[in-house]
Structure 1
Amino acid sequence: MNESQIEQYLLTKPETSLYYPFGDDVKVFKVKNKMFATMSFGKGNEKDTYGKMAGHYCVNLKCDPDEAVMLRDIFASVIPGYHMNKAQWNTVILDGSIPQGEIERMIDNSFNLVLSKMTKKDQKSILIHF
């Protein structure tokens, strides 16, 4: 998946909005004002000890801590969340090495994790769309 496909998929989630609180370079995707994804282009000036982000779009996604570690072990393009809580966020480097279905599953999980922490009222207003 490329960055425009990812953005389109993220925006199909119910009540999702796009924000730019960190400037024009970082897209922040929120559901009911709760962030579940960010996307930016790796320019090479990041302190990326993995040396993989430069020249690729990257998506930060919330993740169950145990699953986060497993995904990092399985995919070389999944690293601890850049500028995020590394236990609960992964950075997915969009270099073409991860199948579309797997990226969509990670996005769905991120959305659902954020949704699960909302009030029952907010959850119902979102779940009605499914």
Structure 2
Amino acid sequence: MTPEELRGFCLDFNAATEEFPFRPEISVFKVRGKMFALSHLDAEPLTVNLKCDPDDAVRLREEYPAVAPGYHMNKRHWNTVTVGELPEQLVKELIEDSYDIVVAGLPRAERLKLDRP
């Protein structure tokens, strides 16, 4: 997955936006103002921080060397994923899971605007 593909995939989600609140080179992908992915798209290797269920976070770290506790994030809820070292489909699933976790935490009225349960 290239940086452009990562950006495009993140922005394909309903109401997803890209912002730069930290530095101009750090892309933060949000839904309704809540972050679900963060990446320095020009970095080598390409990594992305993703929200994760705490139990899944530990399991993924044990199973894949390319998944580490979230860099500069709450290590219980965030993982840093080295994109090129995992199958692209798995990376996409982890991004979608992160988006879904954030959406699930939104107020019901906001979720209804997104047409998601």
TM over 0.5: yes
CA contact (8 A) 1:78 1:91 kept: yes
The letter of the residue matching 1:120 is R
Counting matched residue pairs gives: 117
The letter of the residue matching 1:126 is L
More helix by share: 2
Match of residue 105, structure 1, among 77, 93, 99: 93
The letter of the residue matching 2:98 is S
CA contact (8 A) 1:60 1:92 kept: yes
Unpaired runs of 5+ residues, structure 2, are: none
The letter of the residue matching 1:112 is D
- Over the aligned positions, Cα root-mean-square deviation in angstroms equals 1.6
After TM superposition, give the deviation of residue 76 of structure 1 in Å: 0.8
The letter of the residue matching 1:115 is V
Q: TM-score, normalised by structure 2?
A: 0.93
CA contact (8 A) 2:70 2:80 kept: yes
Q: TM-score, normalised by structure 1?
A: 0.85
1:83-122 counterparts in 2 under 5 A? Answer: 83-94=72-83, 96-122=84-110
Aligned partners of 1:62, 1:115: CA distance in 2, in Å?
A: 11
User: What percent identity do the matched residue pairs reach?
Assistant: 35
CA contact (8 A) 2:66 2:86 kept: yes
Higher CA-based Rg: 1
